Structure 1
Amino acid sequence: MERRSEVSKDFVCDVWKTDRTLPREELIYLRQELQRFRKIDLIQISSFLKDASLFCFDMDSTLIKEEVIDELARYAGVYEEVAQVTKEAMEGNLNFHEALHKRCSYLKDLPVSIFDDLYFKLHPNYGVPELFQELRKKNAKTAVFSGGFSDILERFKQEYSIDEVRANYLDRAGDKLLGTVSGTVVDKNIKRDSLLELQSRFQMRKENVVAVGDGANDQLMLEAAGIGIGFHAKDGLKANISNWIDFASMDVLLYLFEE
């Protein structure tokens, strides 16, 4: 066991080297045992990041604390209606595409300027600004794939110097939203395909590709990456992955780099 040089402002990292890959069940058992004593996260990687790397993220509840469509619904006074559609989707009565289109229909007639107001009320998750600052210094490529909306993602891209974003486009006429979405809908398949596209374009080896998300629609993206990590993940995602972070801030991802 060795202590890494501190790169996170609030969390330290100890490295335990083993000559075998631990099965998922053993990782879960070890997490549970460690967490009996204090808030400890445990992830397993085959090697540290050494060369050029690509980091792909989900947006809502991963990089930011909020779910943007919920915040838009609050502005429009239709939060309960949108929440009901989300509940239907989680119960399996609507697929992702149906739920997205139905929820967006409630945003009809909102002013496009709403995004300017909303963006400054969103809160990055702990460690996010520090992470992106350091990733730029390491010349890592960064991407955000969101089932949310391009109006927010483009602002985020500019603020944090993100290389690539994928999000849904809300149609508009003049200064009003039409309540519809056009173009390719960013769902779980598009997230995975976008990661693979960028991996190819940037000529990255799979082991140098990191994916981070919190929900079930991030699973395929995490599986396609060399290192897939659930960040403060929902149970639906945890049930199908091996690596997740429950307690630490986002900047602990900097421990993935070789010292």
Structure 2
Amino acid sequence: MILFFSPKKDSDPLTLSTLLSDRFKKPVFIERKNEISKEYVCDVWKTDILPRTELVYLRKELQNERKIDLIQIESFLEKEPLFCFDMDSTLIQEEVIDELARYAGVYEEVAHVTKEAMEGNLNFQEALQKRCSYLKDLPVAVFDELYFKLHPNHGVPQLFAGLKQKNAKTAIFSGGFTDILERFKQEYSIDEVRANYLDRADEKLLGTVSGTVVDKFIKRDSLLDLRSRFGIPKSNIVAVGDGANDQLMLEAAGIGIGFHAKEGLKSNISNWIDFASMDVLLYLFSEN
């Protein structure tokens, strides 16, 4: 089935049904789900699984008219699913390492390393270590100030409140840093977080990272670990991220979704959200 997310103020189910009927040369009936999000509605078309090329075409056609997102799923979520998220640029608008670099006055240097990595000249672990080296001598107390300057993406607080009501397990696997993730975990009652630990001494950062670096493989393996530990079937697991390093995690989930995703991820997945707020993910649940 396909879920269409439309702005409440610009929702037109009749036009949507007509467009689908014209495209597939048969009557298409859609059903409106009970309202959850304050700003977005969800219309459901119960159809067979469509190929990725068709989904891409539909997105293009729909977005010529209005800001509509769509996600294809095999079935709705049942009780007590598992939701796994990336952090930076997914749950929050910022990239934490960039913000730390601004504090340290080394933004351009860190951005240059990021560019090297994106061009394939450095792998994730090399790039992380090199970028962190520029943070040497930054006071640990910077995290207390920085955390309150970070902005959750639209609908994130509402999503976590809704997931708590559904008794969903929640996890964040981040290439960022434990200092931020632990604060976020406490604020939103997240079950599990995995991120990178910045070494420190005398309340200053040493510019190094110790322990297992959370890269794309660790993200995937962490999801599989929780799946086994909690005994949750793949079909009842959702993974959400924005970058190429989230792809393996998304593929390991029953429903993998790019959220405001970069092109490097979009080109390899079928489901992503360009416009809607994060709380539309609550429409993935069965209403029974």
TM-score, normalisation: structure 1:
0.99
Q: CA deviation at 1:9?
A: 1.1
Quick check: 1:129 aligned with 2:157? Answer: yes
Q: Tell me, in whole angstroms, the C-alpha distance in 1 between the residues paired with 2:266 and 2:60.
A: 14
Instruction: Give deviations 1:177-221, integer Å, cap 9, x for gaps.
Output: 000000000000000000000011110010000000000000000
Which residue matches 1:14?
43
The alignment yields a C-alpha RMSD, in angstroms, of 0.4
Q: Quote the Cα distance in structure 1 between the aligned partners of 2:171 and 2:152.
A: 16
Contact 2:178 / 2:197 at 8 angstroms: preserved in 1? yes
Gaps of 5+ in 1: none
**Aligned residue type for 1:138:** K
Structure 1, residues 25-44: CA drift from partner, whole Å, max 9, x if none? 00000111111110000110
1:229 maps to 257
1:43-58 matched pairs, under 5 angstroms: 43-58=71-86
Measured in 1, the distance between the counterparts of 2:80 and 2:149 equals 34
What are the superposed Cα offsets for residues 113-135 of structure 1, whole Å, 9 maximum, x if unpaired?
Answer: 00000000000000000000110
Aligned to 1:178: 206
Q: Deviations over 1:218-245 (max 9, x none)?
A: 0000000000000000000000000000
> What is residue 136 of structure 2 aligned with on the other side?
108
The amino acid that maps onto 2:122 is L
Residue 84 (str. 1) matches residue 112 (str. 2): yes
Would you say the 8 A contact 2:79–2:168 is kept in 1? no
Q: Following TM superposition, where does structure 1 have runs of at least 4 consecutive aligned residues deviating by more than 6 angstroms?
A: none
Match of 1:214 in 2: 242
Counterpart Cα distance in 1 of 2:79 and 2:40? 24
User: Does residue 93 of structure 2 align to residue 36 of structure 1?
Assistant: no
What runs of 5+ residues in structure 2 fail to find an aligned partner? 1-29
Q: State how far apart, in whole Å, the 2-side matches of 1:9 and 1:193 are.
A: 35
Matched, 1:26 2:54: yes
1:142-197, Cα deviation, whole Å (9 max, x unpaired): 00000000000000000000000000000001210000000000000000000000
Query: Quick check: 2:79–2:167 contact (8 Å CA) kept in 1?
Result: no
**Deviation of 1:21 (Å):** 1.0
Shift of 1:51: 2.4
CA contact (8 A) 2:82 2:232 kept: yes
SS in 1 for 2:65: coil
Higher RCO (CA 8 Å, separation ≥ 6 residues) = 1
**Distance in 2 separating the partners of 1:251 and 1:62:** 13
SS of equivalent to 2:72: coil
Indicate the larger mover: 209-218 or 49-58: 49-58
Q: Partner amino acid for 2:258?
A: G
Please give the per-residue CA displacement for 1:52-102, whole angstroms capped at 9, x wherever unaligned.
Answer: 200000000000000000000000000000000000000001100000000
What SS is found at the alignment partner of 1:12? strand
Q: Does 1:246 align with 2:270?
A: no
Give the equivalent residue in structure 2 for 1:2.
Answer: 31
Please state if 1:63 is matched with 2:121.
Answer: no
Instruction: Specify the code of the residue in structure 2 equivalent to 1:150.
Output: T
For 2:120 and 2:242, the matched residues in 1 are separated by: 19
Which entry has the higher C-alpha Rg, 1 or 2? 2
Q: TM-score, normalised by structure 2?
A: 0.89
Identity %: 82
CA–CA separation in structure 2 for the residues paired with 1:59 and 1:183: 19
Residue 226 of structure 1 aligns with an amino acid whose one-letter code is G
Aligned to 1:164: 192
